[in-house]
Amino acid sequence: MKAPKDYRIGTIGSHSALQIFKGAHDEGFPTTAICRRGKESLYTKYYASLVDKSYVLGSYAEYPTIEKQLVKENTILVPHGSFVAHLGLELNSRIKAMYFGNKSILDWESDRFKQREWMEKAGLRLPRQFSDSEQIDRPVIVKMFGAAGGKGYFFCKDPEDFEEQKSKVAGHEYVIQEYIIGNTVYIHYFYSPLDNSLEIMSIDRRYETNVDSLGRMPLRNQRGMYIEPSFVVIGNSPLVLRESMLQEAYEMGERVVAASKKFAGPKGLFGPFCLETVVTPQLEFYLIEISARIVAGTNLFVEGSPYADLRYDVPMSTGRRIALEIKRAVRQERLEEVLG
């Protein structure tokens, strides 16, 4: 019977790769880093002890040149939040190496219209969307498609304000979304297809430049200065949620998983995912976005989180939880159930 040591866990050197490698080691898997030249030293030098083997490519487009070797080494690829962004949707869909997670969910995650449909199917509370800027009757946020890490977002108050700023999205697809005034809460889940059970792994809030620095400037100092607000994510801070809201957080996660099974085959969404929410003073969750993979906020919790610690006797990061799921699948000879 095969054991973890007969496989390798691999991913692209970025985003949450260190956590994934650490988790793989904790569960007994050797690791493989796929890096872009110039970006490899984090994995081959500073955290070399976490990386057993590395491939350094001139560009990620060269991925096919190493795939045969990855397959030969029984590498299971773990996609993370910037895995597809780096590899490209097309190349990602043609991966022949073993792949943790459901590849067909990606179309639904990356296309804002499909994602909206998914969220609606799940029956969660969503910000209103405006198909026509003339209809803007409340504060909105305009989001360019494919904007990564919060770049290309802007605030807008009314149709006139949109007119003034619309050059920012000229030539791009975008959505005009109601701006929900409330606190952001990012909930990290893990759905196990082996046990058919959902866990909340951890919760974070993002640290976005420059919007998270604006509050430190008093009114007096902002006056007369024109500061373009931006939402570029550069880090994350830990958070716990009011316990009386936690059951609803679980139920939201379950509905998102259940809805995914309607369009992405019986497997649906599994493994790690994140619901990006805003909570209003009326204690209502608004679902802003679904991330269908491990998110960077989990990097806070390499040695466990307040939620994982309630459930596990060992420090359980999301990276380690992935490796644990693969290990269980290997031992139960159900590996194909966690690959997609």
Q: Which of residues 240-279 bind a second copy (CB under 8 A)?
A: 240-247, 250, 278-279
Please compute Rg for the chain using Cα positions.
21
Concatenate the DSSP letters of all residues of 299-313 into one string: GGGTT--TTHHHH-S
**H/E element holding 55?**
strand 53-57
Q: Kindly tell me which of 74 and 82 has the beta carbon lying closer to a second copy.
A: 82
301-320 binders of a second copy (CB under 8 A): 301-304, 306, 309-311, 315
The b-or-e profile of 135-149 (16+ CB within 10 A means b, else e) is ebeeebbbbbeebeb
Report the alpha-carbon distance of residue 319 to residue 322 in Å, rounded.
5
Residue 245 CB, shortest distance to a second copy, in Å, is 7
Q: Give Cβ neighbours of residue 87 (< 8 Å, ≥ 6 apart).
A: 12, 60, 63, 95
97: Cα within 13 Å, side-chain hemisphere: 26
**24, 33, 34, 50: which one binds a second copy (CB under 8 A):** 50
Size of the site for a second copy (CB under 8 A): 86
62-91 binders of a second copy (CB under 8 A): 82
Quick one: which segment of 109-117, 181-189, 261-269, 326-334 binds a second copy (CB under 8 A)? 181-189
Quick one: which segment of 3-11, 15-23, 119-127, 169-177 binds a second copy (CB under 8 A)? 15-23
Tell me which residue has tokens 């994350």. Answer: 236
Q: Kindly tell me which of 15 and 112 has the beta carbon lying closer to a second copy.
A: 15
284-303 binders of a second copy (CB under 8 A): 296, 299-303
Q: Kindly tell me which of 244 and 336 has the beta carbon lying closer to a second copy.
A: 244
Residue 166 CB, shortest distance to a second copy, in Å, is 16
Residue 175 CB, shortest distance to a second copy, in Å, is 18
Instruction: Give the C-alpha distances (Å, rounded to integers) separating 106 from 11, 20, 85, 194.
Output: 17, 20, 11, 21
139 is a contact residue toward a second copy (CB under 8 A): yes
Residue 234 CB, shortest distance to a second copy, in Å, is 5
Q: Kindly tell me which of 72 and 218 has the beta carbon lying closer to a second copy.
A: 218
86-115 binders of a second copy (CB under 8 A): none
**3, 71, 89, 227: which one binds a second copy (CB under 8 A):** 227
Residue 320 CB, shortest distance to a second copy, in Å, is 11
Residue 10 CB, shortest distance to a second copy, in Å, is 16
Report the alpha-carbon distance of residue 146 to residue 263 in Å, rounded.
22
196 exposure class (CB count in 10 Å sphere: 0-12, 13-18, 19+): exposed
Q: Give Cβ neighbours of residue 210 (< 8 Å, ≥ 6 apart).
A: 227, 229, 230, 232
**94, 96, 114, 157: which one binds a second copy (CB under 8 A):** 157
Contact 21, 319 (CB under 8 A): yes
